[in-house]
Amino acid sequence: MSEAAIHFPRGFLWGTATASHQVEGNNTNNNWYAWENTPGKIVEGQKAGLACDWWGGRWKEDFDRAQLSGQNAHRFSIEWSRVQPKPDEWDESALDKYLEMVRDLTKRGTTPLVTLHHFTDPLWLAEMGGWENPKTPKLFSVFVRKVVTVLKDYVNLWVTINEPNVYIMGGWVEGTFPPGKKDLGLAMKVYANMVLGHAAAYHAIHELQPEAQVGIAINYRSLQPSRAWMPLDKVLCNIQSQLFNNAFIGALTNGKLDLVFKKITLPEAVKTQDFVGVNYYSRDLVKFDLGAENILSGTRSFPPGAELSSTGFIANVPGGMFESLHWAHRFNLPILVTENGVEDALDTLRPRYMVEHLHQVWRAANFNWRIKGYFHWSLVDNFEWERGWTQRFGLWGLNPETQERIRRPSVDLYAEICHENGLSSAMVRKYAPEALDNIFPPV
C-alpha cells in the first residue's frame, strides 16, 4: 500500500487554546462567577470551581504536556478581574504570574498568543453596565496598556477580544450569557462599544509595541439556507451571516458597522487588524419560521446525515472550515485558526474531526492563502460556560474532583501532526481509518 503525506508551510504554528476563567480556577471577582451562582444559569447547576487549577500552578505541567507533544505555540487569556480587581487598584502579583507564564513559554521555544478579553468582565465593570456603558472602551484600553507594558518583551501576538459575536449573542440576544438580556437595541449598542474597545486596544498596543500583530478571533458559523428553493430562507440566512459573521470584522476594515437594521460609522476602527483569527466548529442550516420565538433566529438544524458530537452540540462538517478560511482570505491579511475542536469525552469522533478539518486547512494553505497557524480547542477539558462540565473538548481529559489528567488517543495523533508539520496516510490509517479514503484517495 502506497504512503502519502501533506505538509504545512515552514514556520507554521501548532498549538492549543485555553481561556482564563475556564482553566484558572477560583475566579471569584467576575461576572461569570456571579452568573454561576445564580440558580438556573448553568447546566445542572455546575460551577467552574477549581477548574484546571492553573492559578494554583498546574499550568506548568500542562505546558509540559503541550511541549512534549510537539506544540510550538499556545493561546491563553488574561483575566481582567485579577489584574484590575477594583477600578482604582492593580494587582501586580497577578501580572507577575502572567509574566511567569509567557516567560516559561518562550523558554520552551513556544510562541504565546495572548487574548485580552475572553467573555469575562470584572464585577465592578458589570455593575457599571459593562459593555453597554460608553466608558468601557476607554477602560478596556487602560487595562490593555497595563498588560502589554508588562508582557510585551515576550509577546507580540495579541487577540484583543475573543468572539465578540458570541459574547453579544449570548448576553443580549439569547440571554444565555451574563447579563442575560434579550434586547436587540442594547445588542447593537454593545456591538458598537466593542468595536471601539478593540480599536482603542489596537492603537494602544501599537503605541507600546509597533511591531506587534493584533487581531480579533471571530466565531465563524457556516450558515446555509435550509431550503435552497425558499427565498425567505436565503434572506434570513444572509441577515444572520451579516450580523454574526461579517458585521464586526467589516467595521475593522472600513469603519462601517453594518447591523442590517442600523449602520454606524466608527472611523477609529478603520484598518485595525493585522491578522484574522478564525474560530470554526460547525455549520447550521437556516429556516424561516413564523413560529420561532424570534423571527430573526428562525429555526436552525444541522445538515442531514452529519455526524454529531456526544451532546449534539457540534456537527462534523469539515467543508465549513474551508469556507471559513475562504471568507477570512478576502480581507487580504494573515490568518490564524484560533480555535477548532469538538466535544467528545470518549475520543471517538475527535480523531476524525481533527484530520478532516486539518485537511481543509491544508487545502486552503495550498492556494497560497496566508494561513499561519492552527490552535486546537482545547489542551485539557475545561469549564464550558453555560454548559458547565457536560462537554469535554480537551486533548487531555480532566477529573475536576481530583485534578487528574487523562491521556486521550488524540494527544498522540496531534503530537504526530505537530512533529511532522503535516498529516500522513499512516497517521490517518492509525487514528481515523474511516477518513483515509477522503483525505488520501486510493490511486
Rounded Cα gap, residues 271 and 252, in angstroms: 6
Is position 4 within any domain?
A: no
Cell match 476524525: residue? 352
Predicted confidence (pLDDT) per residue in 394-438, tens digit: 999 999 999 999 999 999 999 999 999 999 999 999 999 999 999
Per-residue pLDDT, 292: 82
Is position 143 within any domain?
A: yes
Is position 396 within any domain?
A: yes
CB 43 within 8 A of CB 387: yes
User: DSSP letter at 10?
Assistant: T
CB atoms within 10 A of CB 331: 16
CB 180 within 8 A of CB 41: yes
Q: Of 191, 219, 112, nearest to 158 (Cα)?
A: 112
Q: Of 126, 98, 114, nearest to 32 (Cα)?
A: 126
Is position 248 within any domain?
A: yes
Rounded Cα gap, residues 239 and 237, in angstroms: 5
Rounded Cα gap, residues 103 and 344, in angstroms: 32
User: What CATH number corresponds to the domain at position 16?
Assistant: 3.20.20.80
Is position 217 within any domain?
A: yes
Per-residue pLDDT, 23: 98
Strand-strand pairing, 422-424 and 5-7: antiparallel
Per-residue pLDDT, 1: 52
Is position 441 within any domain?
A: no
Q: Which residues of the chain are modeled with pLDDT < 70?
A: 1-2
Rounded Cα gap, residues 117 and 30, in angstroms: 12
Predicted confidence (pLDDT) per residue in 218-236, tens digit: 999 999 999 999 999 999 9
Q: Report the predicted TM-score, pTM, of the whole model to 2 decimal places.
A: 0.98
Number of domains making up the chain: 1
Is position 425 within any domain?
A: no
Is position 344 within any domain?
A: yes
Q: Give me the domain span that covers residue 81.
A: 10-406
